[in-house]
Chains A and B, each alone.
Chain A
Amino acid sequence: MTRIAANTPCRVRLILNGKERVGQAESRMLLSDFIRHELGATGTHLGCEHGVCGACTVRVDGVASRACLMLAVQAEGRRIDTVEGLCDGDALGDLQAAFKRHHALQCGFCTAGILNSCAEFLDKTPEPSELDVRDMLSGHLCRCTGYTGIVAAVLEVAAQRRGAPPETSHV
């Protein structure tokens, strides 16, 4: 049994975007703070710290999860994927490129979490309806875009991955 006393930093090791990373965390440190401030991956953002806004969503062993509702110590040994890992080499991945094409972000603060949900969702749901996409996205709050571009981008990537050509113009 793992047991960590309060106020006692311990070592946490996890796989962040394919690379093993180690940092120090007290038992109470949130995974979101650990990723951002201990590991320096600041692409994951905090919007509410009570699990509603979705900005901090990362993938834990491939599954979209609120990083603010997990302790860093719970991530020990797990695979954590964040927005920083979504690129295709140096280039934007297809989902990111579609977001850009569709003006699916403005301030970009909520975007990292949305991309992580979409990444898992599209893996599991290759042929989503617009309602499926909206239902999945309803776990995220975006204050800038009115969501139109986001929905369009996700549907387009789903179609692309099934072999349809990308659109060229914006929404």
Chain B
Amino acid sequence: MQAQSTVEALGRFAECGYARERVEDNALLRGAGRFGDDLATTAGTLQAAVLRSPHAHARLRKLDITSALAIDGVHAVLTGEDVREWAAPFAVGVRQPMQHWCLAVDKVRYVGEPVAVVVARDRYVAEDALDAVEADYELLDPVVDPEVAAQADAPVLHEGVGANVVNDRHFSYGSPDKAFAEAAHRIALKVRYPRSSCTPIECYVVIADYDVAAGTYDVTANFQGPFALHSVMARALKVGASGLRLRTPPDSGGSFGIKQGVFAYVVLMALAARKAGAPVKWVEDRLEHLQASSSATNRVTEIEAAVSAEGRISALRYDQLDDCGAYLRAPEPATFYRMHGTLTGAYDIQHLEARNRVVLTNKTPTGLNRGFGGPQVYYALERLMQRIAVALDLDPLEVIRRNLVPADAFPYRAPAGSLLDSGNYQSAIEKGAAEGGLDELKQRRDAARREGRLYGIGYCAVVEPSISNMGYITTAMTPAEREKAGPKNGAVATATVGVDPLGGVTVHVSSTPQGQGHRTVAAQVVADVLGLEFETITVNVELDTQKDPWSNASGNYSSRFAGAVAGTVHEAASRIRKRVAAIAAHQFEVDASCIRFGDGRVTVADDDRLSTSFRRMAGTAHWAPALLPEGEPGGLRETAFWSPPQLAAPDVNDHINSSLCYGFVFDYCGVEIDKVTGRVRLDRYVTLHDAGRILNPAVLDGQVRGGFAQGLGAALMEKFEYGADGSFQAGTLADYLIPTTMEVPEPVILHMETPSPFTPLGAKGAGEGNNMSTPVCIANAVADALGESDIELPLTPSRVRAMIGIDEPDAPEGLEPIKPAAGSGSALQASDSVDMPGDPATVFDAMLDPKILAKIIPGCHDLQAVGDNAYKADVTVGVGMIRARYKADVNLSELEPPHALKLSGVGRSAMGTAEGSARVRLTAIEGNRTRLDYDYEAAIGGKFAAVGARMLQGAARVIIGQIFSRLAVELGGGSNAGSWMKRIVDLFRRLFGRSKK
């Protein structure tokens, strides 16, 4: 308990613990922030754009960059060949023969995977050149669903591995089999957690340069850490760590974990700069970001509890399948292991079994995302708690209460190894229930239900880990593999405090924040230690790996600032204080223990006459070294490194203390569901946090509110939608929905402070709790309102309404519902028919006539025969203002003159790919006419699928419909547009007797 005594020795804080306004805001509010794309660049800096795969799974056969290089203003195109020559694949966290290069070298495995980089005068020209690169792909079967991908007969992404499950570990702690055998009840649940991302508003920015003389790279990127990845980048670039100078800009526009993923582009743009022989800047755009930056994993979990008749849980069993996308990109499979030590959550459960399988699918690689691993684990665990309550007819909060870790058990060792540092979960729940108005909320629920409204209350209790153990990821390896690789553990934080010759205090931390107010809080900590006004402290949060102290744990993740970094700042400032005290003691000729700091002065206790300004006293170290006491070297700058001893490497039995601190979050909420629209309205949301000692309450509340809004988004609207063909369908912020002011209510925020015994200031992290708790809390409330057990996120109005039930009246006769497209993919299917003049033979022959074919294909500029009934065409197609020019192959096949044929086409354009085929049947009808019936299938991939998902079905219908209506016109039938609509109009006429027939 040494740390706590430090805090007590300081007495009352003047700054820490108070809601100071943020020092960051002065510049940001003036538009004077310095974000990545705002920085001055070296003269001659060029702009990069990335060519990306429109396909989810394909072999890259050929890449022709000739036309792109011919465009005025284009300087270079980086391809897989360059990458093979200059770089190495990224290191992977599990022992498997799979290669992940920063650029596709032979295969593409997800939509949006980089295939080439164009470097040009400006971004506009670079994008022109992207459209001119010709890539030739051989399509392979994609696999999107993780459960399908895990099966033996699934298409395999990495042939060298031979399967898509690339890591499969079993863990057993205690005696789970025995506990399950003896349990009164076994209660199980299967849940699917969707893929989403916290999507910062600023996307990735990389500015890279290559020093050809030294063979080294100098890169500025809005990377957030962990700087363990610096080693991954340097190795990929085939240089030592000093060969990659990595710097971060002063400001970064949000990250929430996602800007960890920029590291792959650090390598890519470093190589692009080398290729171009000039500095290169790349600013990721929103489509690139949504489809190809990073995301949380989607996960399928089967969870089961052994439960006593009273609702006490003796054992838990997890079977987790984590979908990490197309490559296991570092630090994956960390999503599993960040939470591994604490799979039992806030509960005192002695026996645990877990199977963790990592599966790869044709989706974007995953990585850090706020809450990292927590949302997935707690969605399973806390949904299960609610199900246990339902099954045993107990109050859900009572089930939580009966299983909590006892208040006198801290520090508490959880079965998988987490050492829960401190807490009092029982008090937290009592406080939360009382101060958040739980009784009143229950009354509201009861009143609503009496009126027949749909109202539910959800609860959840969450242990929020912070300050990750850098060794937890090695739990993915077997003990034998770990033995070979050598131990990894700890979490080194660094901070530097310096005093300049005029007595000004400057602080540097390697925490690379993205808006969390680190400068403010570090200044508060130092101000308290040195007795200065916090506004006078300068804090620098830029990181330069060539000049600044840093370690592999540097960066902004696992909510490590308050516990680790602020504590290390305190340590560095305390060393300065000790040195200044020694200098003052020497000058005043008193013992150093008599020296006091406060109000900007250094004073001898009990003797106000012996007092000098801090500035002057500290300045002595620079201006008059001869006056310094013996042993004081002069100058005044201290760098502290700190790593907690509690963070040991995983042991031979796979116990891992995956984090240093464990805060506690208790949430509950009341929701009302609109019976018609299915919309979920949060009536009240209460969230109680115990994050140890609070350093700045306003900053902390900001973290809670931000996490809550993101958790609410994950619960109600956010999802990265993929088609069955692997097409990405959420490429704009009109498709990927983020809550706005109208959707985010104000939560009731409550706090408790149980200091951590393991951090210098007693503080714990608190940045991620609501990302973990809010999705499942809302899900539990909806489950309560509807009496449903199978709750899948996001709880969109349509999905909720489906759970309420849609009792559809039958369609009126003649109005068959349109067949839904197969799966949720972008494979579009429908049928239609058109009446044509002439007999079937005439119509059939017309379709085989290339002259007529050229006329009926919409926007056909050119049609060249390349074989029997096979053509190459150049067509411009589109709907409304949207148009793209496609190079297409057109074929007529399965000819059964004059009754049937198949018309098919495959097109490629800068907008992506389009494939379609129509089976045509011709039937003679009265009046020497022919009815042309067609069933079509279309698949649209690439950019249009990503940004026009809402329009795909309609667009396919318009374009395919045009072919046949134009045929009718060509055969002399006049305009016959809108046959689908015409059928409806005809039907109306039939139904209402307006028909003249």
Per the CB under 8 Å rule, do A and B touch in the complex? Answer: yes
- Docked-complex contact B30 and A141, CB < 8 angstroms: no
CA distance A103 to B35 in the complex (A): 19
- Docked-complex contact B732 and A50, CB < 8 angstroms: yes
CA distance A105 to B744 in the complex (A): 16
Interface residues of A in 62-106 (CB under 8 A from B): 82-84, 86-87, 92, 96, 99-101, 103, 105-106
Specify which of A46, A96, A106, A142 lies most central, judged by the most chain B CB atoms within 10 Å of its CB. Answer: A106
Return the contact of B22 from the options A26, A41, A103 (Cβ within 8 A). Answer: A103
**Given known contacts A42-B37, A52-B733, A99-B29, A107 and B741 CB-to-CB distance under 8 angstroms:** no
- Docked-complex contact A100 and B702, CB < 8 angstroms: no
| B406 lies within 8 A of chain A by Cβ | no
**Given known contacts A45-B253, A107-B253, A143-B199, A151 and B741 CB-to-CB distance under 8 angstroms:** yes
- Docked-complex contact B30 and A96, CB < 8 angstroms: yes
| B24 lies within 8 A of chain A by Cβ | yes
- Docked-complex contact B741 and A134, CB < 8 angstroms: yes
Specify which of A42, A44, A103 lies most central, judged by the most chain B CB atoms within 10 Å of its CB. Answer: A103
Return the contact of B201 from the options A41, A107, A139, A169 (Cβ within 8 A). Answer: A107
Residues from chain A with a CB closer than 8 A to the CB of B699 are: 103
- Docked-complex contact B25 and A29, CB < 8 angstroms: no
Specify which of A50, A82, A107, A145 lies most central, judged by the most chain B CB atoms within 10 Å of its CB. Answer: A107
User: Which of B142-150, B231-239, B514-522 faces chain A?
Assistant: B514-522
| B202 lies within 8 A of chain A by Cβ | yes
| Count of residues in A whose CB is under 8 Å from the partner chain | 58
| B536 lies within 8 A of chain A by Cβ | no
| B710 lies within 8 A of chain A by Cβ | yes
Residues from chain B with a CB closer than 8 A to the CB of A86 are: 29-31
Contact with A along B673-708 (1 / 0, CB 8 A): 000000000000000000000000111011001101
| B28 lies within 8 A of chain A by Cβ | yes
Minimal beta-carbon separation of A76 from chain B (angstroms): 19
| B9 lies within 8 A of chain A by Cβ | no
Residues from chain A with a CB closer than 8 A to the CB of B705 are: 145-149
Return the contact of A146 from the options B201, B742, B744 (Cβ within 8 A). Answer: B744
- Docked-complex contact B733 and A108, CB < 8 angstroms: no
- Docked-complex contact B29 and A105, CB < 8 angstroms: yes
- Docked-complex contact A108 and B21, CB < 8 angstroms: no
Residues from chain B with a CB closer than 8 A to the CB of A171 are: 698, 701
Residues from chain B with a CB closer than 8 A to the CB of A41 are: 31
Residues from chain B with a CB closer than 8 A to the CB of A49 are: 285-286
Residues from chain A with a CB closer than 8 A to the CB of B746 are: 148
Interface residues of A in 118-148 (CB under 8 A from B): 133-135, 137-148
Interface SS of chain B: loop
- Docked-complex contact B124 and A29, CB < 8 angstroms: yes
CA distance A92 to B87 in the complex (A): 49
| A57 lies within 8 A of chain B by Cβ | no
- Docked-complex contact A48 and B286, CB < 8 angstroms: yes
Residues from chain B with a CB closer than 8 A to the CB of A50 are: 286, 732-734, 947
CA distance A103 to B709 in the complex (A): 16
Minimal beta-carbon separation of B651 from chain A (angstroms): 39
Minimal beta-carbon separation of B726 from chain A (angstroms): 23
| B33 lies within 8 A of chain A by Cβ | yes
- Docked-complex contact B285 and A143, CB < 8 angstroms: no
Return the contact of B202 from the options A87, A109, A133, A137 (Cβ within 8 A). Answer: A109
CA distance A139 to B740 in the complex (A): 8
- Docked-complex contact A45 and B741, CB < 8 angstroms: no
- Docked-complex contact A105 and B708, CB < 8 angstroms: no
Return the contact of A109 from the options B200, B742, B744 (Cβ within 8 A). Answer: B200
**Given known contacts A29-B124, A107-B251, A42 and B201 CB-to-CB distance under 8 angstroms:** no
Return the 4 tightest CB-CB contacts between A and B, nearest first: A43-B31, A107-B515, A109-B253, A108-B28
- In the complex, 29 of the A-B residue pairs with CB atoms within 8 angstroms, ordered by the A residue number, are A36-B37, A43-B31, A46-B37, A47-B286, A50-B733, A53-B733, A55-B201, A83-B31, A84-B32, A100-B26, A100-B29, A103-B19, A103-B22, A103-B701, A106-B517, A107-B200, A107-B201, A108-B253, A109-B33, A109-B201, A110-B253, A135-B741, A137-B740, A140-B740, A141-B738, A144-B254, A145-B702, A149-B705, A169-B19
Given contacts A147-B741, A171-B698, 12 further A-B pairs with CB under 8 A are: A42-B31, A48-B733, A55-B201, A99-B29, A106-B515, A110-B253, A135-B742, A138-B741, A143-B709, A148-B705, A149-B705, A151-B741
